[in-house]
A = this chain, B = another copy of it.
Amino acid sequence: MPPRETIQRTAIREAFCKADRPLSPREVHDIASKRVPRLGIATIYRVLRELIEEEYLTAVELPGEPPRYERAGKKHHHHFRCRRCGGVFEVHGCPGDLRSLTPRGFRLEGHELLLVGLCGKCNG
């Protein structure tokens, strides 16, 4: 049976609809609390897990920072992080032939790539 339509779930989904960037659990809680005052942080984590399970959201995990979440459905991509302003941008395309880097006997199933440098604004 599908999950029930609760105001909490609705408020949480709405937060992601309005956001144009990946949100942390704390940020989701801050946004959704405006609509559902007694909203508990545990509910955020529970619903987040369900929405990922349903593939409504995906986790965005970047090195050195806690995970954020964004709407699922985007095609395979990587990110570019500006070391000056901290902004994170999508980059499309993908390096090929990563199998050649894989140690003998290991099974390669996927990869994550983060480019680092200066974004257009910070590069001047």
Contact = CB atoms under 8 A, between A and B. Distances in A.
Interface in A96-118: 96-98, 100-118
A116 B109 contact: yes
A120 B105 contact: yes
Contact of A117 (B82, B108, B115): B108
Q: Tell me the interface secondary structure of chain A in the complex.
A: mixed
A8 B7 CA distance: 54
A29 B117 CA distance: 33
A103 B118 contact: no
Contacts of A26: none
Interface of A: 59, 61-64, 67, 78, 80, 82-83, 89, 91-98, 100-120, 123
